[in-house]
Amino acid sequence: MPELPEVETIRRVITPLLAQHTVTGVEVLCPTVIAHPSADDFCALVTGQTFEGSLRRGKYLRFLMRSGDTLTLHLRMTGGLVVLPCSEPPEKHTRLILGLTGGVALHFSDQRRLGRAWFLPKDTHDSVTGMQNLGPEPFDLPEGYLQNALHASRRAIKEALMDQHIIAGIGNIYADEILYAARIHPCMPCCTLSAEDYTRLSSLIPDRMTYFLAKNAISTEDYQATRGREYRNTPCLLVYNRQGLPCAACGMKIEKRFICGRGSHFCPACQSMPIAKTDRESR
């Protein structure tokens, strides 16, 4: 967290609260949050800017300023945004505060300090953010794209789904949920998946991401009241973090295994791993 559904929810809630507000001052509480330019230049450039709109690409959130300049944020594992009255003091994990006209301020909090902010003047090539290297959005996968991109790869399908260069926006949680829906074991090497597997995945990826985006929706009032901390998708997850609990389809206990350093959850019956066949085919 936050993955695409959470970032998009934050964008939808926060953008109207910022629109037409001008930045009156910047307080950097943790200098490492500023990825570009330097913290001093960031403060000087952002002050006086007026928020106009926003867009999301993968897990990146980009605010568009009236000047044409852009403020890009990546929330990583624990980042969050909330708009508060100027009189509210920062919380323990607040890393960056933008004071705004109208007596409010945008607070960027991040417990693990991995989130980053970039400010780019208009018409600057944004190679510094990494956004230009993202794969397509889960909702816009061209026909045959996944199979073409992955059929020759020996890496695990779980790892490939989380690769932002292949598809933008899927992380550990939704990769597990998508693979469970597709009945594919997360360790399966991409090169062993059939054409039918890729067709099924290509349709379930947008399907599941649309579902979780809808389930995560929240009103501005509720978001502000909970300071954006609550994730509403937890009760809808069928395998993620459910190790030891029964599979909703077959009753077998959900297992957890580390794949590429990430805790991965799956049903050993519904997502069986045909090891013997895989070994034979790979010789």
Contacts with Zn ion: how many residues (CB under 5 A)? Answer: 7
Nearest CB to Zn ion, comparing residues 84 and 238: 238
| Amino acid making up residue 62 | R
Round the CA-based radius of gyration of the chain to a whole number and report it.
21
Burial class (CB in 10 A: 0-12, 13-18, 19+), 185: buried
The yes or no reply on residue 270 touching Zn ion (CB under 5 A) is yes
Residue 7, CA atoms < 13 Å, CB-side half-sphere: 28
Tokens of 100: 């705004």
Q: How far is 231 from 236, CA to CA, in rounded Å?
A: 11
The nearest distance, CB 187 to Zn ion, in angstroms, is 16
Given candidates 250, 272, 274, 277, which one binds Zn ion under the rule CB under 5 A? 250
The yes or no reply on residue 238 touching Zn ion (CB under 5 A) is no
Residues 26-85 that bind Zn ion (CB under 5 A): none
Query: Are residues 82 and 57 in contact, defined by beta-carbon separation less than 8 angstroms?
Result: no
Nearest CB to Zn ion, comparing residues 220 and 272: 272
SS3 of 101-121: the string is: CCCEEEEEEECCCCCEEEEEC
CB neighbours of 50 closer than 8 A, spacing ≥ 6?
20, 21, 22, 23, 65, 66, 67
The yes or no reply on residue 249 touching Zn ion (CB under 5 A) is yes
Stretch that binds Zn ion, among 103-111, 128-136, 177-185, 266-274 (CB under 5 A): 266-274
Q: How far is 48 from 21, CA to CA, in rounded Å?
A: 10
The yes or no reply on residue 247 touching Zn ion (CB under 5 A) is yes
**SS3 state at 17:** helix
- Closest residue to Zn ion using C-beta atoms: 247
Given candidates 29, 128, 238, 269, which one binds Zn ion under the rule CB under 5 A? 269
The nearest distance, CB 239 to Zn ion, in angstroms, is 9
The nearest distance, CB 184 to Zn ion, in angstroms, is 13
Tokens of 263: 């805790």
Q: What residues act catalytically?
A: 2-3, 59, 262
Number of neighbours of residue 262 by Cβ within 10 angstroms? 16
Stretch that binds Zn ion, among 57-65, 97-105, 215-223, 249-257 (CB under 5 A): 249-257
Q: How far is 70 from 172, CA to CA, in rounded Å?
A: 28
The yes or no reply on residue 267 touching Zn ion (CB under 5 A) is yes
Nearest CB to Zn ion, comparing residues 30 and 269: 269
The nearest distance, CB 249 to Zn ion, in angstroms, is 5
The nearest distance, CB 201 to Zn ion, in angstroms, is 18
Stretch that binds Zn ion, among 41-49, 83-91, 164-172, 239-247 (CB under 5 A): 239-247
The residues of the shown chain that bind Zn ion, judged by CB under 5 A, are 247, 249-250, 252, 267, 269-270
